[in-house]
Chain A
């Protein structure tokens, strides 16, 4: 059974700092990995999707990397802003042909202090 772990559970940083969020998964046989953002009481917004054959994806100040063999992904946020405060979730998808649901981690709650 796939298990996804995110450490730390909570992180507080001053505005402008670069930061890294970590995600690890136990079964390296994945189809892709996604990073989501969730604001309090809201649904999830997809940030980045990395296919299993890719090493990284970038969108603006966000960069996500994937090391499938070691079961790890990181989300790098450059020049953090108070508006980045949210919970960040990573999720892995099983390979094609099997169940298509995502397995989520518990998230990292990020607070960026002005």
Chain B
């Protein structure tokens, strides 16, 4: 296993378009997280899955954002009607189900909304 994979690495879109990002976690990890990072800031938590169940969502995740993990493996993060403020790096991480497990992050998907 080569770690957490994210696709695409870069996405440039026009305001109002929909975009979808995919995350493939480490295969034995049952927890999956999405974070958003803007320039010069640390990552901010968006949402968290344990297997296929979405257990927590941040208030940052507006109605235009939706995340799924249908079979408890890969996850998708969709942003509808993108706005310029959505421009950021979207990071995915995964971990085992124990409390002291370390999160392994992917390389991120950078979104630029024109």
Report which A residues bind B (CB closer than 8 A): 4, 31-32, 34, 36, 41-46, 49, 51, 89, 91, 96, 99-107
Subset of 9 A-B contacts with CB under 8 Å: A31-B99, A36-B105, A43-B106, A44-B105, A46-B105, A49-B102, A102-B43, A106-B40, A106-B42
Report which B residues bind A (CB closer than 8 A): 4, 6, 31, 33, 40-45, 48, 56, 58, 91, 93, 99-100, 102-108, 110
B102 pairs with A101, CB closer than 8 A: no
B103 pairs with A104, CB closer than 8 A: no
Chain A interface, DSSP helix/strand/loop, else mixed: strand
For residue A98, give the distance in angstroms from its CB to the closest CB of chain B.
10
B100 pairs with A51, CB closer than 8 A: yes
A104 pairs with B42, CB closer than 8 A: yes
- In angstroms, Cα B10 to Cα A30, docked, is 34
B100 pairs with A46, CB closer than 8 A: no
B33 pairs with A101, CB closer than 8 A: yes
Chain A neighbourhood of B110, CB < 8 A: 41
With A41-B110, A99-B56, A101-B33 in contact, do A46 and B44 touch (Cβ < 8 Å)? no
Report the nearest A residue to B50, measured CB to CB. Answer: A100
For residue B7, give the distance in angstroms from its CB to the closest CB of chain A.
13
Chain A neighbourhood of B33, CB < 8 A: 101
A91 pairs with B42, CB closer than 8 A: yes
- In angstroms, Cα B104 to Cα A104, docked, is 15
With A41-B110, A43-B105 in contact, do A104 and B43 touch (Cβ < 8 Å)? yes
Q: Which of A43, A102, A107 has the most C-beta atoms of chain B within 10 angstroms of its own C-beta?
A: A43
Chain B neighbourhood of A102, CB < 8 A: 43, 45, 103
Chain A neighbourhood of B106, CB < 8 A: 43
- In angstroms, Cα B99 to Cα A43, docked, is 22
Chain B neighbourhood of A91, CB < 8 A: 42
